[in-house]
Structures are given as C-alpha cells and as structure tokens.
Amino acid sequence: MQDHASEKDFLAAYNIHDYEVPLTSVDMAIFKLREQQLEVLLVKRSQHPAKDTWALPGGFIDLKKDNVLEDTAHRKLVEKTGVKSPYLEQVATFGGKQRDPRGWSVTVVYFALVAHEEIDVDPKGAKEETRWVPVSEALSDYKLAFDHNEILRLCRERLTSKVQYTALPIHLLPEEFTLTELQKVFEVILGNEVEKKSFRRRILDADILEESGAMRTGSNRPAKLYRLKRGVENHFFPRTIEGPRS
C-alpha cells in the first residue's frame, strides 16, 4: 500500500485481506450449580478442527449482528442456555500461533453464571450435542479441544478467587433464595465450610439484599427469602473470607 493524502482516501483503499490477521473468536465457561456441584457446559464439536471432541462453547464474531464483543458472548449464551439475564464477565484473552491448527488465533474468554432453574433445556439455538459436567471432572477427565482445559482452569480460578471478596455466587441462584442456600453456594465454590454467623453478618451488613417478604418452608423452621437489591450488580467486601483458623 502507498501513502494516502487523506484518511478518506486511505480507508477507501484499505482492505483487511491485504494483511495477515489472526483468527479471532469468543469462548466461554458457563457455570451453574446442581446438586451441590459446580458444573460447566461443554459442547461436542460438530465441525473440524477437533471434530467430535468436547469443548467450551464459543464461536466467531458475527460482524453483521454483533456490535461489541460482549454481544457475541451473549448471543452464544442464549443459544446454549436460553437464559435471558446471565452474569457475564470477561476473563482474559488467549492468543498464539499453536493453539489452533488453522494458525495464529485469538480467543476472548468470558465466564457466565446462570441459575440452574432458569435454564432452557432445549433452547432454540441448540444444534450441537451439549453436556453439563462437574468442573473438577471436566478438568481431570476430559481432554478438551485446543487449550480449553487451560482456559477452563483459569475461569474456575477467577471464580474461586472472586468468591473470596465479592458476592458473585448470588448469580448462581434463582431470584429468591435463603441465606443458608447462599452459604451453601459459597461453600461449594470455596471447597470448605463457612461459619454461619460470620457469613450472615458479612452478607447482611453489606446491604446488598432485601427480604422478599416470603418464606421458604419445609419440615422445620421457615427461612426468610432474600433477593438482590435493585441496582446492585456486584459487591466487594473490604476483607476476604478467612475460613477456619485451625
């Protein structure tokens, strides 16, 4: 390409295919909680490369439909789960010469938290075989496509790390939940027990929940139901959860 006098001329003559560019995609770890286990959604690849192997859901940016990167992630998420208002967070971007046999590739990684109860078991966009797998199992027993094991490991790490000082796990529960239910979620992700009183104080003092008014009943004392206060997306605590002192 030669020099151009104005930006207008430059853009008119510009053709992206004159340059070597990497292949850029979006991948995501979609987490949910089921029976006291953290599970992640895997997809069996129906196309080459890595055909027939399990992978994290993802795909290419649709240059027409997607206005910003997050749209791509959101689109994929809805395709796979049908969840309308997920928690979505960008984790990191992986890029390199070796990670995809097609050549230099870049993938922007998101993680999503969805409530088990809000998942559409057969969403519209479902074309490939999918499967929910406990995260530890996905990491130890599955040889995922490309560098997806590494990517998943980082997503899990980011999640556990943020659980130490934020109220993220709320997004793994349906709109209304009891404090004990929330505590259980923290315990599952952290992998250790949490002291009841400390936990309740921590959450309640943060002033991010409101009572829904209803109660959860069972074969014992009923529990208050809470929901996230309007406008509270996420909360950062001044200290990390400390766990048992022993």
Partner DNA sequence: AATATTAGTGGCCTAATGCCACTAATATTA
Partner DNA sequence: TAATATTAGTGGCATTAGGCCACTAATATT
Residues at the contact surface with a copy of itself, assessed by CB under 8 A: 4, 6-7, 10-11, 14, 16-17, 19-24, 48-51, 60-61, 63, 66-69, 90, 92-98, 101-104, 106, 108, 238-240, 242
Nearest to 30 by CA among 172, 125, 150: 172
Q: For residues 177 and 37, what is the distance between their CA atoms, to the nearest angstrom?
A: 17
Exposed, middle or buried: residue 217 (CB in 10 Å: 0-12, 13-18, 19+)?
Answer: exposed
Considering only residues 11, 68, 141, 218, which one is a binding residue for DNA as defined by CB under 7 A?
A: 218
140 binds, among DNA, a copy of itself, none (CB under 5 to 8 A by kind): none
Least CB distance to DNA at residue 242 (A): 3
Length of the chain: 246
**CB-wise, 37 or 178, nearer to DNA?**
178
- 166 lies in the site for DNA, by CB under 7 A: no
**CB-wise, 2 or 36, nearer to DNA?**
36
Considering only residues 224, 227, 234, 235, which one is a binding residue for DNA as defined by CB under 7 A?
A: 224
Give how far Cα 245 sits from Cα of 53, 107, 179, 188, 194, Å. Answer: 43, 40, 23, 19, 11
Give how far Cα 200 sits from Cα of 48, 120, 136, 139, 180, Å. Answer: 49, 32, 28, 32, 9
Cis check for the bond before 49: say yes or no (omega within 30 of 0): yes
Least CB distance to DNA at residue 245 (A): 3
- 239 lies in the site for DNA, by CB under 7 A: yes
Least CB distance to DNA at residue 240 (A): 8
244 binds, among DNA, a copy of itself, none (CB under 5 to 8 A by kind): DNA
Q: For residues 214 and 237, what is the distance between their CA atoms, to the nearest angstrom?
A: 27
Residues at the interface with DNA (CB under 7 A): 178-180, 194-202, 205, 217-224, 237-239, 241-246
